[in-house]
Amino acid sequence: MDMFPKCTACQLQFTLKGPAPYLLPCLHAVCETCVTSAAGGVIACSTCQREVNLTDTALQKDEVRQNEIFHLTIKLRPTELLCPHENDGNQAVCWCQECEGLLCEYGHNTHSSFRLSRNHSVHNSRDIVPQNLVCETNCRIHNRYLLDLSGTSCHTSTCCRCLRGDHAGHEVEE
């Protein structure tokens, strides 16, 4: 029995590269295809038979199910994990925690050669567990400070104290 969650409208399994899951108010998931093609702007949940008027309700992507799909893909279908680098189709072999991205062998070598990313926490794809995917909320250098800023030029999470040091002069956003 396949463990991948299914869309409650069309009953198709969610996949890593397929339509994204969206969360209905009843907390069941529907795929992006069903949301965009809902007849008359109304979608019905086949699990609880609740109808949702999409003109009155803004649905959010279901991040929890997306994470579940990612973990199931790592565990059950690792050959589907592809490196996004230049869409070359290479199989991903690791995950960068800070960049929140998959890397093939070439991408990993390139990634570790850049000064800005050489100290990133990179995990082999076979060793990925949910704890490795969750980014830290506190700065490694300034432990008491939250990583609540994102460098727009360096694409790195930082705390307010980092702006006085290594990230001085960098443009950031919350």
What does pLDDT average to in each consecutive run of 10 residues of the chain (174 residues)? 84 91 92 90 89 89 88 82 74 82 85 86 71 55 71 68 76 72
Predicted confidence (pLDDT) per residue in 74-106, tens digit: 888 888 888 777 666 788 888 887 887 888 888
Domain covering 136-174 assigned CATH 3.40.30.10 in the classification? no
Query: 1-78, superfamily in CATH?
Result: Zinc/RING finger domain, C3HC4 (zinc finger) (3.30.40.10)
CATH code for the structural domain at 81-133:
3.30.160
Contact 159, 105 (CB under 8 A): no
Q: Do domains 81-133 and 136-174 have the same CATH topology?
A: yes
d(CA 89, CA 80): 10
> CA 130 to CA 153: how far, in whole Å?
28
Instruction: Return the H-helix or E-strand segment holding 33.
Output: helix 32-36
